[in-house]
Structure 1
Amino acid sequence: MAERPAADVGDVNLQDVLRGRTDGDQRTTNMIRVFISSTFTDMSGERKALLEKAYPEVFAFCRSLGLVFEVVDLRWGIRNVTSGDHEDCEIFLQEIRSCQRISAGPNFIALLGNRYGPRTLPRLIPEKQFEALLSKLSKNPEGVKQLRQWFLKDNNAVPPTYVLQPITAHFPHYSDLRPETGPQRDKDLLSWRVTETQLLQLLRSAAADAKTAGDITAEQEQEFFTSVTEQEFEQGLWKDNSESSALLFVREIPRQRMRDGPRRFAKFMDLTADGLLDAEAQGLLTSLKSRLYTSSQKILNLHCVELSKGSIDPKRKEHAQYLDSVCEQFVTQMKARIGAVAGPSVDGRRGRSIDEGTMETSDWVVEEAGRHTAMSTKLSRGLYGREGLLGKICCAMWESTNVHHSPLVVHGAAGMGKTALLCKLAQEMRGVLEAGAVVVIRLLSARHPQRPDIDHVLRSICFQICLACGLAPPSPLTANSHLDLLRFFRNVLDKISQQGNTLLVILDALDQLSDQHRAHKLCWLLTSVPPNVHLVVSMDTHSEAFASMRLKSETLGNFFEVERLSCDEGKLIVESNLRASQRALTPEQSDAVLRHFETTGCPLHLKLMMSAARRWTSFTPLADLHLGANTQEMMSQFFLMLEKKHGKQLVGGALGYIALAREGLLEAELRDVMSLDDDVIREVYEFCLPPTPSLIRLPPLLWARLRRDLEDQLEERWTGGVATIAFNNRHLCEAVSAQYLTSERRGRSLRILAEYFLGRWSGKLKPASLPGLSLLLSDRKVPPQPLWFAPGLANIRKLQELTYHLLHAGLWEELQQEVIGCAEWLYCKSRVCGLSSVIHDLDQCSQYMDCTETRLVRDTLVLMKPSLDFLDGHMDTSLFYSELLARLCSLAKPFPAVIGRLCSQCEEWLLTCLEPILVPKCSFLQQPGGALQHTLTALQGGVLCQDVSLEAELLVAGSDDGVVAVWSLADQQLIHSLLGHTGPVLSVKVHDSSAHCLSLAADGSLRRWSLTNGQQLLCIQEAVPLDSTPSSVHLHLSARSQLLFVYTSAQVKVWKLDGSELLSSSSTDEGSVVLGVLEDSVFSLSGSGLVRISRPVGGTQTVEAQLENSATRLTLVNSVMLPKREKVFVVSKEGFLHQVRVRTPPTGLDLQKLKNIYSSTALKYDL
């Protein structure tokens, strides 16, 4: 293996990622996510104009650069109504931080008019600060009583905190939107306004006194006066010098006419609870603007606009010009900011594939390694206990360091914490291994519901090891050949071992691999790991992978079971978890958790309970704890909590769409598809109409609130610089499917997803039926979904998701038009995702659709695959269309619906191609449906021999590079790659039982292999002369006599069938050649035409018979043995074909009977 320079040692980040020694996720982002900050009503006209005119243009611009553009406007679609739980301010600030973390460019857009914005009560006040405030109100006992009524002390917070109670705790109808409760709700709304004002006045006056007395700081005092808007500005503009990633739009009203009273400007100015102008708020607004004008000049866009009848009216010319100006400035400045960020890497994204074969090696390797390392680091923080099991595994690794050893197998039932255990093992080993050691970890269930292919897993591991250790990575041909990849993987482990470096490879959840190459049989997994290399794998005890592992292993000493946790271990986990989250539980609450945990001992069950327990306050009644007796019940309780808080349709829709997505969903995509879901929209607008009935979407704040409660259950999945959201636990995904995705709802949700990725409702009006309104047509503002965003920039999300949703939604016609019968789709997905991905899609289609044309297209791509794999993703468009047309042309007329359309598209593209190109006029390449059904491409060397077992549907072949491959004829999958020979494989034989096969090679060795687990069972050296040729040596198995024959033209060797003992070794007389073996009899021929039949084992005499019409001298050309017909055909150079036939073999053999049981005939032929 050739050496190459290791990555620059000075590049600490890269080397840390490749060696598995980083705690962070080393990723780049191709996302532009901006938060829109404004008050609820003041800038609604500007926000609507931006939504309709500016956002689509910036969205298209970002797509043309290979970027994703998302807008987070949490105030769109809802009125100025504070949520009853007081969490909105925290949600807004959390979303700003999320945008700052994710966005590659601008992330904050500030829109400020003449409202300072609501100054809400703080939800949390630290104990010491609250007690200091109460001390200043000693002369106002009613005020103290009111504060203590609304703020309750939570001793579960560390340190203790006073928590503002939900509004509905005292005003139960505050959030009740039902028409029949209207009067009660109005009363509660008014009561809350008065109460909120009183509470704010009490806190502000107390804060002022406390600040004067030095009990609190000026910053702490200001928190009771600052509006949510200014807090957003502080986070998005000024904190951490964020101005460079922000834009600021300020609107001034130059001539305010107040003759009609302040209520005329209620939407645009701050009013007190009794409807008067809030002078204090206006003063604070003036101070805020002064700060903006002083410190944010570079990003300021100032406009002066006079209101018309107290509003911005787009129908008025001056107002329309103002809105157009805002949109134009927004688009121009956003494009400039985004272009400056994206410019250096735009060309690199053009034509880039999400398949690792065509990406820069270091890019996808670092992304893959960093992602799994970061996930493992995060998961290891949640593991407490298991020290005994970890110690046993570490001890086993230590003892096997200097010797060849078996992989270590960690197994257990679902939810028992196998993944967390292996993540903790990786973390611990990073701390004790030397600096040059490499730790490779792959969490194979991390992309559920997708299952990774074993080739992808091995490929990424090989590249990571090679880049980390300075070894030459696999060539494209090697990386795309399963057999060569297996050999490379084993060789690279041997190379690391020989160098004396330490390597730890951890593969979690082998049972989650796809069935490609029968990966669950574990034929690819090493049974002997070299010194200094450690391989640790995990699997479910009840999986096929575990059963295969037991068959491969000779001892159970390398198996470690992850069992139920004890109650003491559970208590330790609870305490550690609470300590890490700065929370506590009351003794009664802690007892409730541990009592439920004791019945299962399941870490996943405990994790779900702790997720709920961290939300409990010390004053939460025991009756409201709602714990489940097991994991499933706990998930059901969680779903009920979400439905009660957010609505059943909203929760079921959001969770269902996340569960159905193949690669997760962008948050913008999730908001889009829920906006297309009429059931969700009807629930959202059940008691109030949308602000603009002609434009209906899901208010983003509703998803943000739900997202906050799902924080422990969701994860970001980064691929190609884009973050999608998905469930962080496949068991939760399965529970969502069972709870919400009934047959009817699943079909409807799949149809909505399919229509979304088709772009069906982009720019079109979709019917909507809302309570109180007749059927109306509304724009849902979803983006178009072209196949290509720009030349060389494919719509990867569409390629990933569309086929699955069309198929499972039963949209057969659209599936045939947009996928199966679309040449551009087939080319685009083959280029971007790999041809195997397209074939897999068509295989799935064939399972659900009885369509001959689909199978023919699929078979065509299978025939094309070897040549396209050779190109390693560098596929020319003309080559793809030419080969597709050359294989399908003759089938266009018999199958016009799909194949005819495909051929027309290919021909049209080729005829309009600007470059000179040959256009196929007939099917001159092998077409599907013919004799050629499949091309097996695993063997890189030339095939020298093969044998077939019809009973087991296996094909065994040997190549000139010493590899023996075993395929399943049922699905054309490679199931074993038998490595051991160092010379060309000359002959292979499958034992009748199909449990074993034998191989004979030019290195002189004879080897017996298990077809169950791929292990070598026997090796006999010097079975044949070195450097023999395929035609000169032969293998024969005698099942009846349990004998194994190896013969050349001059020598015959016989062993017991198991190879344990050599029974005979004999050579022919001079001038004689061995014809072959029938059962346990050896046939030889002399130059005079004399056939000799002998039994090397169990026989004492030789029988001779003369060939009929044999010439004086007979020169053998070839002989053919027909064991089932008990015949031997002999071809001579003199022009004769002789048949030697066994008439009726007796049960016993002796000389006299043998003389009469053979006959021969001769047929003259022309040479």
Structure 2
Amino acid sequence: MLKVRVLDHRDIKRNADRTIKQPTAKRNSLNNGIFRRKSPSKNVKVETLIQPEAEVQGDTNEKADLKVAATFERVFQGHFVDIPSPLSKLVRVFTSSTFTDTTVERNALMEDVYPALKEFCRETHGLDFQVVDMRWGVRDEATDDHMTTKLCINEIGNCQRLSLGPNFVVVDMRWGVRDEATDDHMTTKLCINEIGNCQRLSLGPNFVVFLCQKYGYRPIPSEILCTELDMLKRALRDEHEDTSLLDTWYIEDANAVPALFILQPISSILVNFNNKRIPKLQKQDAAAWWEAEASMQNSLRKAAKICYDRGYLTHEQMHNYFMSVTEREVIHGILKAKNPNEHCLCYVRHINNIVCAEAQQLLSSLRDERVPAKLDAANIRRSTIEWAGRDGVDTVFHADYIKRFCNDFYESITQMVNKAMKKHDKFRDHLFSEVLQHLCNALSVSNMFFGRDDELKAAESYIRSNSNVPVVYYGENGCGKTSTLAKIAREIRNWYDRGEQPIIVLRFLGTSPASSSIAPLLTSVCDQELRGTSPTELSKLFLHFKKMTTLATDQKPLVFFVNFFI
């Protein structure tokens, strides 16, 4: 850690030719850890990288420009609060639906639209395009340990995290798997986690949903609070209902906090459920599971309704036993998502002359009330077609509908990507991205930091002292040096007096091209503080760096954090 005193960039801008005394401290080398120097500087002329436009068209543009300038300033000063996430290079879209409702549409997207979107993202913006369709090839093994739902939720999260622009299109993960097999709760949890990944990783779109005739399969939970399941069992016993199936399939996990009942893997009780070598035995165990699952489903729903009527459960807790996987995905992908109109699409398709009685009230509430209340009308597409063929949608009879659907899907996703790129264009600066990456790395590695009070107190004592000696923090691989250094960088502002405004320069060496060798490293560090063009010759670059470290006042401390791995 290297500690210096430096002038604020705005002070330098207003008085660029100001003469400052020569440094009196001895020369210090760049080391792992913290390095501080109290030293003023020679004449240095510095330019500010980002300034508001000289002529602004309207108050809105002026405020936007000032906000961008303030964001650049916060990043270059090393703040960890109110800074953007690094610009993603990925458009990752989670698609959600029920198994059989949208087979024709998903086939058309897979064959014609996704390749075109991949080419558009690559050629137009240099982005990678990915689609998550959890309904393709979810195997019985996922059903066995009740992981299907969990897989789906996980994938939605990936799309929201990674995607630029759209990130949620509801298309199901149920291709090649029975509804019952896909819709168990562990699979739902995986799906929800994946939704979160999409929201976290995607630039732009990250979730698209197809809501058609079916509400979707409603699985039993893979985990239930011990207190809640005990209450449900008591309610069933009060009604003289048998609870032996629940006792067999739900086993208490006392190590969980709070304690949980866990739905056991199917093959742990029905050992031939995955036995493909003996199809007859496998078929028998599969039938036994579906029968047991249906019975437990009815019992849990009945008990939940009783407990709700008695005031023991909230409506949300009761609804957990009636909810489909698709609705759960929509909740995480749209209803609970941040800025869903920038990232989500909903396709609603009606088929005339067909009434599907399956959970119609729940489907109508989700499709016609809850989603429209969260998404703008511009993000919802509605189509009405006539029944044709065996399954209602026929590739020949509905060719025009499928073509319009594919064209609209392509245009909607590309517009979301373009809009997201335009929004991020003002932050597409190489130096800004470099500095931001290291700040975000520090945030990431320090989020799970606990303890190390002695090290933190030692760092605080050093900051409050007048020492000019660099601090080196070293240890064996894996002992926590990086996370400790990141935690110190986040806490260091709290250790300065109120009138002092430290500037943090942080680099995790080897984590980016500009931090992988000495010349680009010094260039990025100098440009972060001086906002000028650094010399390319290495000897002059060393002098340029030394000049930067001599910009110092007691009110404007400059602290260097350099982390590398041996």
Same fold (TM over 0.5): yes
Shift of 1:243: 4.5
Instruction: State the Cα deviation string for residues 1100-1127 of structure 1 (Å, max 9, x = none).
Output: xxxxxxxxxxxxxxxxxxxxxxxxxxxx
2-structure distance, mates of 1:168, 1:290: 40
Residue pair 1:133, 1:207 contacting (<8 A) in 2 also: yes
Shift of 1:138: 2.0
Shift of 1:30: 5.1
Asked if 1:198 is matched to 2:295, the reply is yes
Q: Could you say if the C-alpha distance between residues 226 and 392 of structure 1 is closer, same or farther in structure 2, counting changes exceeding 3 Å?
A: closer
2-structure distance, mates of 1:214, 1:226: 20
Shift of 1:283: 4.7
- Please tell me the residue identity of whatever aligns with 1:489: F
Shift of 1:81: 7.8
Greater RCO structure (CA 8 Å; 6+ sep) = 2
Q: Could you say if the C-alpha distance between residues 157 and 431 of structure 1 is closer, same or farther in structure 2, counting changes exceeding 3 Å?
A: farther
SS at the partner of 2:262?
Answer: strand
Asked if 1:44 is matched to 2:141, the reply is no
1-structure distance, mates of 2:267, 2:90: 39
Residue equivalent to 1:330: 409
- Please tell me the residue identity of whatever aligns with 2:475: G
The aligned runs of 1:221-232 (5 Å cut-off) are 221-232=318-329
2-structure distance, mates of 1:229, 1:57: 27
Residue pair 2:493, 2:501 contacting (<8 A) in 1 also: no
The RMSD of aligned alpha carbons is 3.2
Residue equivalent to 1:441: 506
Residue equivalent to 1:61: 120
2-structure distance, mates of 1:456, 1:166: 54
Residue equivalent to 2:144: 84
Residue pair 1:89, 1:228 contacting (<8 A) in 2 also: yes
Residue equivalent to 1:285: 363
Asked if 1:72 is matched to 2:122, the reply is no
Residue pair 1:38, 1:111 contacting (<8 A) in 2 also: yes
SS at the partner of 1:138?
Answer: helix
Q: Could you say if the C-alpha distance between residues 305 and 506 of structure 1 is closer, same or farther in structure 2, counting changes exceeding 3 Å?
A: same
Shift of 1:229: 0.9
The aligned runs of 1:923-934 (5 Å cut-off) are none
2-structure distance, mates of 1:148, 1:437: 61
Shift of 1:128: 3.2
Instruction: State the Cα deviation string for residues 778-821 of structure 1 (Å, max 9, x = none).
Output: xxxxxxxxxxxxxxxxxxxxxxxxxxxxxxxxxxxxxxxxxxxx
Residue pair 2:205, 2:413 contacting (<8 A) in 1 also: yes
Residue pair 1:125, 1:161 contacting (<8 A) in 2 also: yes
SS at the partner of 2:516?
Answer: coil
2-structure distance, mates of 1:456, 1:462: 10
2-structure distance, mates of 1:175, 1:503: 63
Q: Could you say if the C-alpha distance between residues 430 and 59 of structure 1 is closer, same or farther in structure 2, counting changes exceeding 3 Å?
A: same
- Fraction of identical pairs, as percent: 28
Instruction: State the Cα deviation string for residues 31-69 of structure 1 (Å, max 9, x = none).
Output: 432211111233122111101111122222333431433
Instruction: State the Cα deviation string for residues 549-597 of structure 1 (Å, max 9, x = none).
Output: xxxxxxxxxxxxxxxxxxxxxxxxxxxxxxxxxxxxxxxxxxxxxxxxx
Shift of 1:208: 0.4
SS at the partner of 1:506?
Answer: strand
Instruction: State the Cα deviation string for residues 887-945 of structure 1 (Å, max 9, x = none).
Output: xxxxxxxxxxxxxxxxxxxxxxxxxxxxxxxxxxxxxxxxxxxxxxxxxxxxxxxxxxx
TM-score, length of structure 1 as denominator length = 0.37
Residue equivalent to 1:310: 391
Shift of 1:372: 1.7
- Please tell me the residue identity of whatever aligns with 1:44: T
Residue equivalent to 2:560: 505
Among candidates 360, 365, 373, match of residue 439 of structure 2: 373
Q: Could you say if the C-alpha distance between residues 213 and 283 of structure 1 is closer, same or farther in structure 2, counting changes exceeding 3 Å?
A: same
Pick which of 79-88 and 160-169 moved more.
79-88
Residue equivalent to 1:17: 75
Residue pair 1:40, 1:79 contacting (<8 A) in 2 also: no
Shift of 1:88: 1.4
- Please tell me the residue identity of whatever aligns with 1:377: L
Residue equivalent to 1:253: 351
Residue pair 1:474, 1:488 contacting (<8 A) in 2 also: no
- Please tell me the residue identity of whatever aligns with 1:36: T
Shift of 1:386: 3.4
The aligned runs of 1:566-965 (5 Å cut-off) are none
Residue equivalent to 1:131: 230
Q: Could you say if the C-alpha distance between residues 456 and 113 of structure 1 is closer, same or farther in structure 2, counting changes exceeding 3 Å?
A: same
Shift of 1:245: 3.2
Runs of 5+ in structure 2 lacking a partner? Answer: 1-43, 52-65, 147-185
Aligned length: 461
SS at the partner of 2:445?
Answer: helix
Shift of 1:306: 1.7
Residue pair 1:305, 1:322 contacting (<8 A) in 2 also: no
SS at the partner of 1:409?
Answer: coil
SS at the partner of 1:116?
Answer: coil
2-structure distance, mates of 1:411, 1:303: 67
Shift of 1:100: 2.9
Instruction: State the Cα deviation string for residues 139-195 of structure 1 (Å, max 9, x = none).
Output: 36763332232223333333323222222221233234x3x2322221221111011
Q: Could you say if the C-alpha distance between residues 326 and 3 of structure 1 is closer, same or farther in structure 2, counting changes exceeding 3 Å?
A: closer
Residue pair 2:46, 2:532 contacting (<8 A) in 1 also: no
Shift of 1:247: 2.4
SS at the partner of 1:76?
Answer: coil
Shift of 1:98: 2.8
Shift of 1:300: 2.0
- Please tell me the residue identity of whatever aligns with 2:333: G
Residue equivalent to 2:34: none
2-structure distance, mates of 1:321, 1:5: 56
Give the number of the structure whose residues are more often helix, by fraction.
Answer: 2
Asked if 1:156 is matched to 2:255, the reply is yes
Residue equivalent to 1:426: 489
1-structure distance, mates of 2:554, 2:370: 62
1-structure distance, mates of 2:473, 2:350: 67
Shift of 1:217: 0.8
1-structure distance, mates of 2:70, 2:230: 49
Asked if 1:233 is matched to 2:233, the reply is no
Residue pair 2:140, 2:274 contacting (<8 A) in 1 also: no
Asked if 1:484 is matched to 2:540, the reply is yes
- Please tell me the residue identity of whatever aligns with 2:349: R
Q: Could you say if the C-alpha distance between residues 26 and 199 of structure 1 is closer, same or farther in structure 2, counting changes exceeding 3 Å?
A: same
Among candidates 522, 526, 529, match of residue 458 of structure 1: 522
Residue pair 1:237, 1:246 contacting (<8 A) in 2 also: yes
Q: Could you say if the C-alpha distance between residues 338 and 382 of structure 1 is closer, same or farther in structure 2, counting changes exceeding 3 Å?
A: closer
2-structure distance, mates of 1:233, 1:26: 24
1-structure distance, mates of 2:241, 2:546: 79
Q: Could you say if the C-alpha distance between residues 182 and 25 of structure 1 is closer, same or farther in structure 2, counting changes exceeding 3 Å?
A: farther
SS at the partner of 2:93?
Answer: strand
1-structure distance, mates of 2:141, 2:409: 28
2-structure distance, mates of 1:254, 1:208: 33
Residue pair 2:92, 2:202 contacting (<8 A) in 1 also: yes
Shift of 1:451: 7.7
- Please tell me the residue identity of whatever aligns with 1:475: T
